[in-house]
Amino acid sequence: MEKRILLVIFVMLSGCGYAQEDRKVWLDYMDKVARPVLSALADGRLRETMPVVLSRIVDNKETRSRVTYLEAWGRLLSGIGPWLNSEGGGREEVGLRRQYREWALKAVDNSVNPLSKDYMVWTGAQPLVDASFFALGLIRCPWLWEHLDTAVKARVVTALRMTRATVPPYNNWVLFSAMIESFFCKYGYDYDPVRIEYAVRQFSEHWYVGDGNFSDGMSYHDDYYNSYVIQPYLSLVVAVAGSRYRSFAEKLDRITKRYAELQERMINADGSYPVTGRSITYRCGAFHHLADMALRGQLPVSLSPGQVRSALTAVIKKTLGAPGTFGAQGWLNIGLHGHQEGLADGYITGGSLYLCAEVFLPMGLGVGDPFWASPGAAWTSVKVWGGMDSVRADHALDIK
């Protein structure tokens, strides 16, 4: 009886709410994150209104200042794309999606039109990164691509082709080139299969280190890049590329499910998680992979949709609900739990922070999907630290 009471207290404190309540929380936070960027870009005022915020130890002030706008735009679109592509929801949500679709159509146009004040920088190292997030957003939102007029589509293609001049470093960056080529492949344009083949082969043949984790190039790093980029990108690239990677797709399915289990176990009872590795100021974007697995209906059987939703809700509240997270005009401040500029690596800008939007991927699921329809449930940390004896022992994944 005492254990049950303790578990109930943990659940209440951690925010395992009802499905409709959780979706409203997600919608409100998504709107709070996205509105300043998308509304300004749709109006052609992003450069005018978005503050240029740089790390205290910025590695290239001039370049970082110029590319911060594409960082914010590409990362935001990749996170809210599935929701823009979906239908349904309550009256408020339907109305908000209608407004956001109008903004998104204008925002795409302004970002690729050389005559626009908000025309983005598409050449160089960092633009390759964020052009890939932009391409990912368009892949995740066919509605947006289908509703762009022919001239805008042509300018998008031109902008993305400009990134081919950049040779990616020998690490997770090879996936950025692969994602852009996957966009061309998906929408029927000439694409370079070698860039896709090269990225997939490096990860499939050389960079898997075991137990659901890939190294980031030749070295393993204890950070969240398996979630920020590697596993969500690999999964989509392999899916778009089709049957030629069937054998690796089967292996990747086991790897991504195992890493989803590990991600869920990283989430503490209060929604916090280990502060380890670079780019920690991406906040809840650290769970891009877990959110992506939920969106694609690929969660392992060990994780119920209700417990994943409850765990991610706690993470969203912890990382986006802390005082100081947003500035006076609603723009994100650097930090993980509030305003913490000391956590920023040299390449972090205010635009970089919008990778946090990846946590909202499950908003692309309808309200009747089990992720939203299931009752809230305790996740692993809540169960274990609540004294319950309902969690099985954890074991590594060995792939021969």
Backbone angles phi, psi at 182, to 5 degrees: -65, -35
Cβ–Cβ under 8 Å, residues 362 and 296: no
Pairing of strands 208-210, 213-214: antiparallel
Q: Delineate the domains of the chain, giving CATH numbers in brackets.
A: 2-385 (1.50.10)
**pLDDT, position 244:** 81
Cβ–Cβ under 8 Å, residues 364 and 86: yes
User: How far apart are the two ends of the chain, measured CA to CA in Å?
Assistant: 44
**pLDDT, position 6:** 44
Range 160-197 burial, b when 16+ CB lie within 10 A, else e: bebbeebebeebbbbbbbbbbbbbbbbbeeebeeebbe
**pLDDT, position 242:** 77
Q: How many CB atoms lie within 10 A of CB 382?
A: 25
**pLDDT, position 400:** 73
Tokens matching residue 292: 């992506």
Tokens matching residue 279: 């780019």
Residue with tokens 């450069």: 47
**pLDDT, position 17:** 64
Q: How many CB atoms lie within 10 A of CB 376?
A: 20
Per-residue pLDDT of the chain (400 residues; tens, 9 = 90+): 444 444 444 444 444 667 889 999 999 999 999 999 999 999 999 999 999 999 999 999 999 999 999 999 999 999 999 999 999 999 999 999 999 999 999 999 999 999 999 999 999 999 999 999 999 999 999 999 999 999 999 999 999 999 999 999 999 999 999 999 999 999 999 999 999 999 999 999 999 999 999 999 999 999 999 999 999 999 999 999 877 888 899 999 999 999 999 999 999 999 999 999 999 999 999 999 999 999 999 999 999 999 999 999 999 999 999 999 999 899 999 999 999 999 999 999 999 999 999 999 999 999 999 999 999 999 999 999 999 999 999 999 999 7
- Sequence-ordered list of residues with C-beta below 8 angstroms from that of 261, at least 6 positions apart, any chain: 212, 300, 302, 303, 394
Cβ–Cβ under 8 Å, residues 184 and 222: no
